[in-house]
Chain A
Amino acid sequence: MNFTFRKFYYGDIPDDVSGDNNTGAEKNDKTAWPLWEVFIRSKQGLDHKHAGSLHAADARMAIENARDVYTRRQEGISIWVVESKNLHASDPAEAESLYEPAEDKIYRHPTFYELPDEVKHM
């Protein structure tokens, strides 16, 4: 007989043992806001870096929400937001063909070249 045991972990209460206390919330919320990706420049001179995402009705609200969600402790001085649907990503399945060709081109790195010790400032 196939019998699986399960250990529970903190904060992880399985549905089948936790019962159901349905209060009948409405389905299909038509008031949902789109998803935005947030990029933050932590200080002048550094790149904007992906911080996370959030929902907002428009770009202005996305920036204001990003301020509240991602910069409560002076983590940023500049924010970029872009609607997630406008972001395009490479496919992990293509990782080999995209990134592997660089692996055997060690001559692209300065350490490939052995120069006499006498050569200075190079």
Chain B
Amino acid sequence: MNIFDLEQKFQEKIDNEIKIEPRDWMPEAYRKTNIRQISQHAHSEVVGMLPEGNWISRAPSLKRKAILLAKVQDEAGHGLYLYSAAETLGMSREQMIEDLLSGKAKYSSIFNYPTLTWADMGAIGWLVDGAAILNQVMLCRTSYGPYARAMVRICKEESFHQRQGFDTLLVLSKGTTEQKEMCQDAINRWWWPSLMMFGPKDSESTNSDQSMKWKIKRKTNDELRQNFVDMIAEQVKLLGMTLPDKDLKWNESRKHYDFGEIDWQEFWNVVKGNGPCNKARLKARNDAHNEGEWVRKAAIAYAEKQASKKVA
């Protein structure tokens, strides 16, 4: 079969909603796009542990501490599911980790913002995980089998993340004046970066999009962002708080909320490594990797010794 036939057959499978599995033939660009996307997603889960890890030892109660620990542990797990999925495409784990540590690989820019107060734990769960879930629910139907399966597993676990976030903010919103202010302040700081999580506007570039045709992605950035705004604009009312956007208004003719312009300069700045915490995040990952080196070596040495004992 020549390359044209193979590609046609591949596209037919996609069109018929047949999943692509690791050993199936696939266009090189499909493989590369999936590797990039899945590994960026994995890195986001791993780096995403850092802003929250900051508050584990300072959670306001044992209950909140246990919840936060469970959430951060889930994120480590999600990173691992995704790394495994990317490995099925022929990318090695070591290479992915190296690309993250060197700064070559990207992760969601949201994690380059600092977590200043306890309310940030609530805002991250509600807004950041809320935004992530919209994307992840869509990805449960992505065309690459291992990625879709990882996402199904992740989605099952992720809804606890968003709910605990909202719950954290709900408690603060019913608290003292100081707690209410803390709640509003966290929402103010996390709102715009959360909107940026969906990526650049669709109009920045136009269609002929391969990811859509290959069903790696099934909704555009703007569609997902609009879903998110519509959802959050209603939920914020239950907290008795507001979103920091004077242009946010229900549009009866569109049946959607209109919202203000995102600061795209800030977005690209953070993506390019100049956000408030980019360097700290990468340093934390590099330190952890370097400080863990002796552990990895010791484990290998121990495994080899045990194996040689068995032979003898």
Partner-B contacts on A (CB < 8 A):
4-15, 17-33, 35, 52-55, 57-58, 61, 68-70, 72-73, 89, 91-93
Partner-A contacts on B (CB < 8 A):
21, 23-25, 33, 36-37, 40-41, 44, 70, 73-74, 77, 80-81, 84, 87, 93-94, 97-98, 101-104, 106, 108-109, 135, 149-150, 153, 157, 197-200, 202, 204-209, 211-212, 217, 220-221, 224, 268, 271-273, 278, 282-283, 286, 289, 293, 296-297, 299-300, 302-303, 306-307
Known: A31-B296, A72-B77; 16 extra A-B contacts, CB below 8 A, are A5-B209, A7-B207, A11-B108, A11-B135, A11-B197, A12-B40, A12-B211, A25-B101, A29-B98, A30-B297, A52-B81, A52-B149, A52-B150, A57-B302, A58-B302, A72-B74
- Cα A22 to Cα B278 with chains together (Å): 12
A33 touches B98 (CB 8 A): no
CB distance from B305 to the nearest CB of A (A): 10
B286 touches A23 (CB 8 A): yes
B286 touches A5 (CB 8 A): no
Q: Report whether over half of chain A's contact residues are helix, strand or loop; otherwise say mixed.
A: loop
B204 touches A8 (CB 8 A): yes
- Cα A36 to Cα B282 with chains together (Å): 28
Q: B94 contacts which of A10, A29, A53 (Cβ < 8 Å)?
A: A29
CB distance from B38 to the nearest CB of A (A): 10
Q: List 28 A-B contacts (CB under 8 A).
A: A4-B208, A7-B204, A7-B206, A8-B205, A10-B135, A10-B224, A11-B40, A15-B104, A19-B272, A20-B103, A21-B272, A21-B273, A22-B102, A23-B102, A23-B103, A25-B101, A29-B98, A31-B296, A33-B296, A35-B93, A52-B84, A55-B93, A58-B302, A68-B77, A69-B81, A91-B23, A92-B23, A92-B25
Question: Ordered nearest first, which 3 A-B pairs have the shortest CB separation?
Answer: A21-B273, A25-B101, A31-B296
